Amino acid sequence: MKTVLVTGGAGFIGSALVRHLIRETPVRVVNVDKLTYAGNLESLADVAAHPHYTFAKADVCDASAVCQIMERYQPDTIVHLAAESHVDRSISEPADFVRTNITGTFTLLQEARRYWEQLPPDARAGFRMVHVSTDEVFGSIPEGALACEQSPYRPSSPYAASKAAADHLARAWHETYGLPVVTTNCCNNYGPFQFPEKLIPVTILNALDGKPIPVYGNGENVRDWLYVEDHVAALLAVMRQGRIGETYCVSAQCARSNLSVVRAICELLDEMAPDPRIGTRTALIRLVPDRPGHDFRYALDASRIRNDLGWRPRHDFACGLRKTVEWYLAHRDWTGRVQSGAYRAAYPVAGAGA
């Protein structure tokens, strides 16, 4: 049985990938996560006792710990998702992003290289590392255009810059040392278990509680949205079929303005969870001063992964958003524990980092 090592497997995308691998595929999964504020093992409660699942608490910046984990569990595939990912936090605390996203990626690449080089020939030939990145490395995309794998990097935020640096390191370790790396650049994800600091869960939870819903600037900034389970399917396709040294942009090409997304959520909640004390939830929307370096538009061309690997998203935005709102309505216990910090008591977390 093959072994997949997932870094950041207690995060939003990582936990979705781990849950799918355990439930749907005949592999062992080793989840390596430092458990920062956004790492929540409660998101993996359904698979935690599975005999093919192992959790290893470790910081990807800790070379010794990473080395020991690789030697112990002998992964055939590494999927690197561990990252600081919230742009607002990168503006106020950029050092955390440099440490985790750049130094952490460097450390993982170095240890993966050492591990890979000592494998027997057959195992070396079958090994690969998937480095997962973001569309934000391309910066703001002009109206009517799409970023693709050949687009120049123009990161605007400390977060985007740290991910751009990590992408360059991953490609360099392939070109220089031959490490079998495949890179993906994905658009904004949404869906169940997303930590309530991102636009969609913030909007859902504030709207449910009758609190103001903040939207940056005039709300016309555009983001490209992908349901998290569709991203997982893309990662599986890349793990199995992706060409070594290649990059794949992942997008459902569901571009929407932030304000239109917030309004759609408000309308869904008015339908599914009406509250006469709150009234029409669009009245809760508040335009707030824009954040520094706020890119206006992201949009990706996913032609390569569609044509070469046969991947297609299963959810359009309306379907995915409805499923997401339904999940948050049905899991107020999970969101309540995250909002109160109770999940930290159950699974003590480290400070900001990997």
User: pLDDT-based confidence at 352, cuts 50/70/90?
Assistant: very low
* pLDDT above 50 (res 51): yes
Give domain 2-195+228-254+298-315's CATH superfamily. Answer: NAD(P)-binding Rossmann-like Domain (3.40.50.720)
* pLDDT above 80 (res 348): no
Q: Are strands 222-227 and 255-257 parallel, antiparallel or unpaired?
A: antiparallel
Locate the domains of the chain by residue range. Answer: 2-195+228-254+298-315
User: pLDDT-based confidence at 20, cuts 50/70/90?
Assistant: very high
The predicted model gives 187-207 an average pLDDT of 96
* pLDDT above 70 (res 353): no
Residues 238-269 have pLDDT tens digits of: 999 999 999 999 999 999 999 999 999 999 99
The predicted model gives 97-112 an average pLDDT of 98
Distance between CA atoms of residues 138 and 155, nearest Å: 6
Is-above-0.75 flag for pTM?
Answer: yes
The predicted model gives 7-26 an average pLDDT of 97
Tokens 């030697």 found at: 71
Residues 284-318 have pLDDT tens digits of: 999 999 999 999 999 999 999 999 999 999 999 99
Distance between CA atoms of residues 275 and 277, nearest Å: 5
Q: How many CB atoms lie within 10 A of CB 310?
A: 9
Helix, coil or strand: residue 294: coil
Q: Where are the alpha helices (DSSP H) in the chain?
A: 12-24, 63-73, 87-92, 94-97, 104-117, 121-126, 158-177, 199-209, 228-241, 258-272, 303-309, 317-330, 332-340, 342-346
Q: How high is the pLDDT of residue 351? A: 31
Catalytic residue positions, numbered: 135-136, 159
